[in-house]
Chain A
Amino acid sequence: MKLAVCIYEGPYNHEASDSAYNFIKAAIVKGHEIRGIFFYHDGVYNVTKLMDPPQDDRHIANRWSELGASGIDIVVCIAAAKRRGIVDDVLVPNVRISGLGQLTMMAIEADRMVIFGD
């Protein structure tokens, strides 16, 4: 089944990002296709390479980048990102900034869209 995931909250501050990550890992193990991951609202902060968490904590941005490296399309909303100072220069590799049209295509093309937020 084609699944898409949308994340609305920033990293560390809210469990949404962790829930989404755990869900996606489990979906991949089960053989589902991840049509895309879309970051909206404060979710856009999930993929900045400027984050530098303590060594003994998870590195949320790197985790997303690794999923992107595996071929999953990870999209950051341009309108939400610009508002919050997230631009191409600060993104981790394997994610891209694009428009809400991408969210629309995911909502239309994926069999299920799962939203993680507050």
Chain B
Amino acid sequence: MSEENKKKIMFTVRKPPHGTIYVYEGLEVKLIMAAYDADISVVFIDDGVYALKAGQDTRELGIKGFEATYGVLVDYEIQKVFVDRKSMEERGLTEDDLLVIGEDEDTEEPIRPKMVDSSEIAAMMAQQHNILSF
């Protein structure tokens, strides 16, 4: 299927990780959906940006973490990953605080989620076929 004909599906993540299962099970949906013919994007807003914070260690909780999986999103061909600038600023986070989601095939440079303004996200939302919130 050509890129133009693929249905645009966006995921929005607005909840923090670990306190509830939404982020974890939401990630499972993204990985499955990536195997289908859809144009996927993921947007982290509000406490959702904490899901991308580098250095998460859930071992003492005894629950399964997912930082390693987020680290290979690009390998799953999920490359359109965005964070809301204001949500980051409100929480004192910068792009350097975020985990790496893959590396560039040619340059081997690490790829991090892209910080964008809410107006850009609103414009992207309006173009989607469907939006799934997690």
Is there an interface contact between A113 and B25, defined as CB atoms closer than 8 Å? no
B21 lies within 8 A of A41 (CB): yes
Cβ-based interface call for A53 (8 A): no
B-contact 0/1 string along A68-107, CB 8 Å cutoff: 0000000000011000000000000000000111011101
Question: If the complex has contacts A110-B130, A115-B132, are A40 and B25 also in contact, measured as CB distance less than 8 A?
Answer: yes
Name the distance in Å between A37's Cβ and chain B's nearest Cβ. Answer: 15
- Report yes or no: B28 in contact with A79, Cβ–Cβ below 8 A: yes
Is A59 an interface position by the 8 A CB rule? no
- Which of A104, A112, A115 meets B33, CB within 8 Å? A104
A40-B25, A104-B36 known; A6 vs B132 contact (CB < 8 Å): yes
A108 in contact with B132 (CB, 8 Å)? no
Say whether B25 contacts A107, CB under 8 Å. Answer: no
Q: What range describes how many residues of B lie at the interface?
A: 10 to 19
Is B25 a contact of A41 with CB atoms below 8 Å? yes
Nearest B residue (CB) for A42: B21
Q: How far is the CA of A79 from the CA of B96 in the complex (A)?
A: 34
B6 to chain A: closest CB distance in Å? 9
Interface residues of B (CB under 8 A from A): 7, 9, 21-22, 25, 28-29, 32-33, 36-38, 129-133
**Further 14 A-B residue pairs, CB within 8 A, beyond A80-B25, A118-B22:** A41-B21, A100-B32, A100-B33, A101-B36, A103-B32, A104-B36, A105-B36, A107-B130, A107-B132, A108-B38, A108-B129, A112-B130, A113-B131, A115-B133
